[in-house]
């Protein structure tokens, strides 16, 4: 059992112990010494399977139930950090700051959750002008151990998102190289590990496609987004279809391929209509109408008329 896992499990035991009205002394009596118990809680020592069984019995629970509940609590922890990130990414500073105060970094068990929390705090501080762009870049470089991370055999989805965020900052000098590296990782999903892989992976598609588009590398936008769509179809996940088709439309428009552009607009519109999300429909309608100086609904009716 890894020390980080052991520490988290020990802290979970301690929370259950507290909820059952036992003192630490009562909980560990005739099992381990208080000194040893504190070593479990601090992560200095790994808890054995025998002690896991004995602690579970002391609480009147089965060891497998304790393990299952502990694993469920880790999923809840991850979702908590993701919710914090989503508030910050959507510029909902009131809820983001509320969640920031409610999350204790020292109590986050998973390393990826800790670095995602710290990344989100840095993003929030940068957006509210509490830190400079240089400080934001340096913080994220440290969080993911850049550039050494580029040589890792496996990279977590969260680390990929943090690297992708650097593409938005001109102060980061390796943007072109990093964009190509992330693209190659996205094309080889076996490199990516960790929970919530799919949502992180396709968030990175958006980041890289946006970077390529801004820098005039339109064929790379098309290749990346079409690859993402194929992968999404394989797993029957329709997250990010709208953005992929939207970016493809922009790329084809820049390349002067109007028929392909219109097909991408139509597919983007169809996906959003199928989702039945009024807020998203308004967002993309505003974007597309501003980009192409059209009335989207009329344009789509005309497109359908010509292609049926």
DSSP string, 37-84: HHHHHHTSSPPPHHHHHHHHHHTT--HHHHHHHHHHHHHHHHHHHHHH
Distance between CA atoms of residues 232 and 226, nearest Å: 10
Closest CA to 174 of 209, 191, 150: 150
Show the low-confidence residues of the chain (pLDDT under 50). 195-196
First to last CA, the chain: 62
pLDDT one-digit tens code per residue, 80-100: 998 999 889 878 899 999 999
pLDDT one-digit tens code per residue, 17-67: 998 999 999 999 999 999 999 999 888 999 999 999 999 999 999 999 888
pLDDT (0 to 100) of residue 42: 86
What three-state secondary structure class fits 9?
helix
Q: Which residues contact 7 (CB under 8 A, 6 or more apart)?
A: 40, 41, 42, 43, 109
Q: List the domains of the chain with CATH numbers.
A: 3-61 (1.10.260.40)
Token digits of residue 68:
């299952």
pLDDT (0 to 100) of residue 189: 67
pLDDT (0 to 100) of residue 276: 85
pLDDT (0 to 100) of residue 124: 95
Token digits of residue 101:
């105060």
Q: What is the pTM of this model?
A: 0.72
Distance between CA atoms of residues 201 and 160, nearest Å: 8
pLDDT (0 to 100) of residue 285: 96
Distance between CA atoms of residues 116 and 114, nearest Å: 5
Distance between CA atoms of residues 296 and 245, nearest Å: 15
Percent of the chain clearing pLDDT 90 (strictly above):
63
pLDDT (0 to 100) of residue 116: 94
């Amino acid at each position: 059992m890894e020390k980080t896992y052991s520490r988290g499990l020990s802290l979970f035991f301690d929370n259950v112990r507290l909820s059952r009205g036992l003192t630490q002394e009562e909980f560990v009596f005739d099992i381990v010494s208080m000194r040893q118990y504190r070593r479990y809680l601090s992560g200095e020592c790994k808890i054995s399977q025998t002690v896991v069984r004995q602690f579970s019995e002391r609480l009147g629970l089965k060891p497998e139930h304790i393990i299952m509940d502990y694993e469920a609590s880790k999923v809840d922890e991850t979702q908590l950090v993701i919710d914090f990130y989503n508030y910050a990414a959507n510029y909902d500073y009131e809820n983001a700051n509320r969640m920031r105060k409610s999350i204790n970094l020292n109590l986050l068990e998973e390393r990826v959750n800790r670095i995602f929390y710290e990344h989100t705090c840095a993003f929030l501080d940068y957006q509210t002008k509490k830190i400079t762009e240089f400080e934001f870049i340096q913080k994220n470089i440290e969080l993911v151990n850049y550039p050494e991370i580029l040589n890792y055999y496996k990279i977590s989805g969260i680390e990929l998102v943090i690297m992708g965020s650097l593409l938005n900052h001109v102060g980061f000098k390796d943007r072109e190289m990093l964009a190509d590296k992330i693209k190659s990782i996205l094309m080889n999903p076996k490199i990516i590990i960790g929970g919530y892989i799919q949502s992180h992976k396709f968030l990175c598609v958006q980041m890289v496609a946006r970077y390529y588009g801004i820098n005039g590398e339109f064929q790379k936008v098309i290749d990346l987004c079409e690859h993402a769509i194929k992968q999404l179809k394989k797993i029957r996940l329709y997250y990010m279809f709208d953005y992929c088709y939207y970016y493809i439309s922009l790329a084809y428009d820049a390349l002067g391929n109007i028929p392909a552009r219109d097909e991408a607009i139509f597919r983007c519109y169809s996906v959003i209509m199928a989702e039945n999300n009024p807020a998203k429909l308004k967002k993309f309608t505003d974007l597309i109408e501003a980009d192409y100086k059209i009335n989207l609904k009329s344009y789509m009716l005309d497109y359908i008329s010509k292609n049926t």
